[in-house]
Amino acid sequence: MRRLCFLLGVLQLLAAATAVYKQWIPNTNFETASNWDKGRVPCASNVVRFEENKVVSVFVRSPHTLTDMYLPLNGELVLAAGAGFAAFDGSWDPGCDSGATVRFSDAEHHAWFDPTLWQAVSPSGELESSSHIFSVDEERVPCHYDDVIFQPETSFRVNVDSSQQVIHLRSISLMGQELSSPEAWSAYLQGPSAALQFHGNGTLQVTGSGCVDKSGCACGNTLDGHRICAALLRASGGQCPEPACRSPLQPLGHCCPICGATINLDFTPDFDLQKYQNRLVQALLSQPKYTGMQMAISKVQKEQTFLGVIPRSSTPVIQIVLIHEGTGVQTSSTVEQLAADIMEDIAQHGEALGISSGKMEVATGNAFSEQVGNHTLSRITMGTVLGLLFGLLFLGGILFLHRKGKLRLPALCLPQLWDRVEDPAPPAPGSEKGFDNPMFDVEPPRADPGEETLQEMAHRDHPVFYLNPLYNANETET
């Protein structure tokens, strides 16, 4: 029994080490100055007004004195220990505008799929301080196996509109309580606060299960990628900034093209995503010459196409995205060098790391380069090209033999584009200007070649005369 408990504890520690925690940033607290239209917390001589038709949940941390307060028809005030409201007694308050009305700001526009409203944190809620790792835009929002944290002693309201039927999460922590099982989450949804905190057509579902695949798990936010990009680019009118390089790259899960490098890895069951990320950070990114370099690495679903046009299926690959904080020629060479070092490491140790092949693309400055590394992918590509060429030559040979008459294809109708001469059309009925000759209306029987030769010789020795019935014999004699 003790051994079983020990194993369960080890598994929980490993899950916590690989779990990703994302914390919601905005809140609807009464003491947050940005939640009020005047940019400050209401004071004693102010009138507080909540919009009548707005649904809101507000956490109150401390006691407040107010002149008057108008509450919404549907909402709640969550009072901490010692918090409350008292009526203003009319005494002079030097730091307060007498009689001013302060309105609570609208929190309806805070959307779940807005990357700017989330931040990656440690399990204790502290900000992650890694200068080498970043996330593509779709992964800045909680993924299916992430843990979500709403800060303790805060209220919030989130729009969970989604193109997914269910938004899966490993756990949700709110008001200092972690909900990590479907049963606990279902019980919370039946309480009075859930409907005031979450609204929209989406449904949040806590599974309690993390990613058990050591090669990583896809984020799962692809269906809501358009919502993520719309929220991210709202300030710029939906337009991406103009890239500084000639042929920018478009990483999967990222809203805008980048100048940098991407490496796509095909992997085997031996590949470990977390170990490989640690290897790249410790062996390469930590070097002084790569100061300012940032890397995103994750599993993504890459769409496969037939002949580069027809969608066929999707396959999981490991995507590495490399960017640099700076600009200029020196920055471009640094990105290219880091990408080349990673490809060289794959060539030397790829089999031991569980990497079967890699493809690198670099777009920096005015240059664009592409390199396919390692074994399997290059052989498959060459085999595909040779197979297509052989098939075209085979079809061409069949057409050539058919054209020459050496190959009959009775069941195959092939248009002969090179035949331009058409058979002359038969004359129209009634256009002949002659008459029928009864003597030559029937074709004579065909004779053997030998007999025809004898007849021709007889004709030359003995003249042959024919009677024409159209003329009178007496007139002929005359």
Q: What would the pLDDT profile of 112-122 be if each residue is shown by its tens digit?
A: 999 999 999 98
Strand partners, 78: 59
Alpha helix (H) ranges present in 267-328? 273-280
Q: What would the pLDDT profile of 242-279 be if each residue is shown by its tens digit?
A: 988 888 999 999 999 999 999 999 999 999 999 999 99
Strand partners, 178: 173
Strands 118-121 and 21-24: antiparallel
Q: What pLDDT band is residue 97 in, cutting at 50, 70 and 90? A: confident
**Which is more confidently placed, 277 or 4?**
277
How far from 348 is each of 115, 187, 244, 344, CA to CA, in Å? Answer: 38, 53, 33, 6
CA distance 428 to 25: 90
Q: What would the pLDDT profile of 148-158 be if each residue is shown by its tens digit?
A: 999 999 999 99
What pLDDT shows up at residue 389? 75
What pLDDT shows up at residue 124? 72
Q: Which of 15-19, 168-172, 347-351, 361-365 has the lowest mean pLDDT?
A: 15-19
Residue 431 predicted with pLDDT over 90: no
Following DSSP, what letter does each residue of 118-140 receive, concatenated?
EEEE-TTSPBP--SSB---GGGS
How far from 290 is each of 13, 211, 347, 348, 462, CA to CA, in Å? Answer: 32, 31, 21, 21, 114
Q: Note whether 172 and 148 are within 8 A (CB).
A: yes
- Residue 144, classified by CB atoms within 10 Å of its CB into exposed (0-12), middle (13-18) or buried (19+), is buried
**Percent of the chain having pLDDT more than 90?**
60
Q: What pLDDT band is residue 478 in, cutting at 50, 70 and 90? A: very low
Residue 349 predicted with pLDDT over 70: yes
User: How much is the average pLDDT of 157-180?
Assistant: 95
Which sign does the torsion angle of CA 309, 310, 315, 316 carry? positive
Look-up of token digits 């500084």: 244
Residue 448 predicted with pLDDT over 80: no
What pLDDT shows up at residue 16? 43
Q: Which of 62-66, 333-337, 351-355, 361-365 has the lowest mean pLDDT?
A: 361-365
What pLDDT shows up at residue 421? 46
What pLDDT shows up at residue 365? 67
**Percent of the chain having pLDDT more than 70?**
73
Residue 55 predicted with pLDDT over 90: yes
What pLDDT shows up at residue 325? 83
Residue 363 predicted with pLDDT over 80: yes
User: How much is the average pLDDT of 51-64?
Assistant: 95
**Which is more confidently placed, 404 or 152?**
152
Q: Note whether 452 and 444 are within 8 A (CB).
A: no
Residue 380 predicted with pLDDT over 90: no
CA distance 169 to 210: 9
Average pLDDT in the chain: 82
Give me the phi and psi of 453, to 5 degrees please.
-65, -45
Distance, CA of 315 to chain centre: 12
Residue 235 predicted with pLDDT over 70: yes
Residue 6 predicted with pLDDT over 60: no
**Which is more confidently placed, 446 or 397?**
397
CA distance 452 to 459: 11
User: How much is the average pLDDT of 177-181?
Assistant: 95
What pLDDT shows up at residue 370? 54
Q: What would the pLDDT profile of 288-327 be if each residue is shown by its tens digit?
A: 999 999 999 999 999 876 655 566 678 999 999 999 987 6
User: How much is the average pLDDT of 179-205?
Assistant: 96
Q: Note whether 89 and 70 are within 8 A (CB).
A: no
What pLDDT shows up at residue 443? 54
Residue 17 predicted with pLDDT over 50: no
> How many angstroms separate the first and last alpha carbons of the chain?
143
| Cβ neighbours for 383, distance < 8 A, ≥ 6 positions apart | none
Write b or e for each residue in 276-295: b if 16 or more Cβ atoms lie within 10 A of its Cβ, otherwise e: bbeebeeebbeeeebeebbb
